[in-house]
Chains A and B, each alone.
Chain A
């Protein structure tokens, strides 16, 4: 009883603090918004075709393999589910239904060898499936159910120290060309962790507390690695992308493209970086009015174009949570609040398209 009262008070306090800060800092456009040209695009209607009786929940994770098959990791019912579709969006199969590591979906990515990696922020686990759908490696461990309910750390309370092989609501995964593994970790920890290809800890950057100084992180929410092995981290709570060298030394900061929720770097010799300044997932329409667009950038942060806005219709975005950009001008985006995966066909002016 006392506990629920405290929770209630805490909720009230948060609500009050939230409205105060909203008044102090009215939401603003990303700095690059006004000067960035629009990229024309279309969205394929009814792209994913699910069998009767099967539904997507929040379209949290989306990624393609080398054959163009689409994997969707979705928050669905009492646990999360991983679906595979062919390049036309026709349902192929479900992988790992009821798996011990499937609880609260956060990301799915496919590595260059077509292994499928799932990041689950509910079980604090990273699960690697081979292309056949078998579990071949695990990082992190789901907390034991017999330990009982875990009380989340209070606001401002010290958080448990980050440990090499334990995650705190991890968010995303990427690999460098050597196969080293980079984990964005996450909501509880505020760090990026590097492992070798066999899952042995190498080093980390950031801390167990969120921070706003360079090299500190606040909800690292999405991560990508370029062909040179540089690591791009969507430092969402700080409204910036931080770029680190392969050994996690800070190289540069991009703070002109709003709040990065989802990053994707295209493959091939000429690489581009997409970043989504997603509208918040709390249906805040004041914020949604000034956010929601996706930016296309050079790897050095130069903005080339933008497209999209928040909304519930086709071509609009309901909090983009993942972008797949295996093909530069054919993106797959997963959305939270619209329970949807869209296939977008970009038609950039000739000067913007790559020479591939």
Chain B
């Protein structure tokens, strides 16, 4: 009861705060969605389409929560059987192949991204791993380590409550859920190092440095060099600049600035390449998925996705890199052109987006038709 009152109060505050923050008249961007895209066969079926990305040839990679997640219980450990799958489709949506079926790290999908060299990177929040495949589908690099087994928790099936102010970062490197049946590390203290706790996303700068959003359990951005050596990390759970409350999505611009979707704080934070806080955008709701377009004139897309138990919000914003809103489109729903908790956006082409949805088990191909003034002319 006390809890629901709190939730209500928070909701009320947000309700009154939001109109003040949002721009008063955001132009709507007209758009279409290709019907039955990626729906060319009954097999394989998609589950929650949490990850979607294209490569330079226009092939589409979908990292999906599918199959039947099986957990076998030991005396005090749970052994998780892989239950996520990575599919490749050609540019017309025709199924090409599956990559890594039954892979040790494919436990609970979160995102997939393709780097400029067409390597395919998968982020798995169940195995706590980032896995890099070369374009042929061979594993080139593995980051983090799947726990040998997961301690059996007793938790309620609710979203994690906002945490109390973070404890001093006393836990050493290598804490987290790594290791055999280790006790759960303190949540949200921003443990540095090479291991992850429910990581959410990955990005690279022009030099190939790797930025990992880590994540649900450990509230930090981790920076690695191109060979996977840990350089530094920043952030911990909290609401101050440089702190995070569920950093859920990450992207870099051509200058190497790092944009972090700080979902539960309902803001996008921007850092320089070394993690120094630069600015934040508070006007686009809860950023579930962000994407920065390539090329000389870059735009930032951000989805204010509906929660998985809600049909509110759901619109996607198109922004300048300085946070000014160019336009928005879409809303929550189950029909074509509507969105069921957008979880990843691919924006390799400015006006041809792929969005992966959680609750609609679907990838939509969207064609935006912005008015002439909005279109970039420098492409």
| A55 on interface, CB distance cutoff 8 Å | no
**CB closest chain-A residue, reference B126:** A146
**Complex Cα gap A100–B48 (Å):** 8
| A113 on interface, CB distance cutoff 8 Å | no
**CB closest chain-A residue, reference B64:** A100
Q: Are B309 and A98 in contact (CB under 8 A)?
A: no
**Complex Cα gap A95–B41 (Å):** 12
What residues of chain A lie closer than 8 Å to B80, measured between beta carbons?
A: 145
**Complex Cα gap A95–B216 (Å):** 35
Q: Are B126 and A98 in contact (CB under 8 A)?
A: no
Contact digits for A101-137, partner B, Cβ 8 Å, 1 yes 0 no: 1110000000000000000000000000000111101
- Contacts A78-B70, A100-B48, A200-B311 known; A148 to B153 CB distance under 8 Å? yes
Within 8 A of B (CB), among A9-42: none
The smallest C-beta distance from A345 to any residue of chain B, in angstroms, reads 34
Q: Are A146 and B334 in contact (CB under 8 A)?
A: no
Within 8 A of A (CB), among B287-319: 308-311
What residues of chain B lie closer than 8 Å to A148, measured between beta carbons?
A: 152-155
- Contacts A138-B334, A138-B340, A150-B156 known; A98 to B45 CB distance under 8 Å? yes
| B52 on interface, CB distance cutoff 8 Å | no
Contact of A138 among B70, B155, B361 (CB under 8 A): B361
Within 8 A of A (CB), among B1-33: 4
**CB closest chain-A residue, reference B306:** A165
**Complex Cα gap A166–B198 (Å):** 24
**Complex Cα gap A141–B4 (Å):** 21
What residues of chain B lie closer than 8 Å to A254, measured between beta carbons?
A: none
Contact of B45 among A79, A135, A200 (CB under 8 A): A135
**Complex Cα gap A97–B47 (Å):** 12
Q: Are A151 and B358 in contact (CB under 8 A)?
A: no
Within 8 A of A (CB), among B72-129: 78, 80, 83, 107-108, 125-126
| A350 on interface, CB distance cutoff 8 Å | no
- Contacts A145-B108, A165-B311, A200-B333 known; A134 to B42 CB distance under 8 Å? yes
Contact digits for A80-100, partner B, Cβ 8 Å, 1 yes 0 no: 000000000000000111111
The listed residue with most B CB atoms (<10 A of its CB), out of A78, A100, A143, A164, is A100
Interface majority SS on B: helix, strand, loop or mixed? Answer: loop
Contact of B42 among A3, A133, A143 (CB under 8 A): A133
Counted as pairs of residues, one from A and one from B, with CB atoms less than 8 Å apart, the total is 98
**Complex Cα gap A141–B361 (Å):** 10
**Complex Cα gap A285–B370 (Å):** 70
What residues of chain B lie closer than 8 Å to A213, measured between beta carbons?
A: none
**CB closest chain-A residue, reference B70:** A78
Contact digits for B35-58, partner A, Cβ 8 Å, 1 yes 0 no: 010010011011110000000000
- Contacts A98-B45, A99-B47, A198-B334 known; A145 to B69 CB distance under 8 Å? yes
| A52 on interface, CB distance cutoff 8 Å | no
Q: Are B67 and A100 in contact (CB under 8 A)?
A: yes
**Complex Cα gap A291–B6 (Å):** 49
Interface size on A, residues (CB 8 A): 39
The smallest C-beta distance from B6 to any residue of chain A, in angstroms, reads 14
| B267 on interface, CB distance cutoff 8 Å | no
What residues of chain B lie closer than 8 Å to A146, measured between beta carbons?
A: 108, 125-126, 198, 216
Q: Are A137 and B334 in contact (CB under 8 A)?
A: yes
**Complex Cα gap A165–B216 (Å):** 23
| A67 on interface, CB distance cutoff 8 Å | no
**Complex Cα gap A160–B216 (Å):** 23
Q: Are B359 and A141 in contact (CB under 8 A)?
A: yes
Contact digits for B321-356, partner A, Cβ 8 Å, 1 yes 0 no: 000000000000111000010000000000000000
**CB closest chain-A residue, reference B127:** A146
| B243 on interface, CB distance cutoff 8 Å | no
Q: Are A138 and B157 in contact (CB under 8 A)?
A: no
Other A-B pairs beyond A98-B66, A145-B108, A166-B309, 9, CB < 8 Å: A98-B68, A141-B309, A142-B48, A143-B157, A145-B126, A148-B155, A149-B78, A161-B4, A165-B311
Which residues of A come within 8 Å of B, CB atoms?
A: 3, 78-79, 95-103, 132-135, 137-138, 141-151, 160-161, 163-166, 198-201
Q: What are 26 residue pairs bridging A and B, where the CB atoms are less than 8 Å apart in the complex?
A: A3-B154, A78-B70, A98-B45, A98-B66, A98-B68, A99-B45, A99-B66, A100-B45, A100-B65, A102-B68, A132-B42, A135-B45, A135-B361, A138-B360, A141-B309, A142-B48, A145-B83, A148-B152, A151-B154, A151-B155, A165-B310, A198-B333, A198-B334, A198-B335, A199-B333, A201-B311
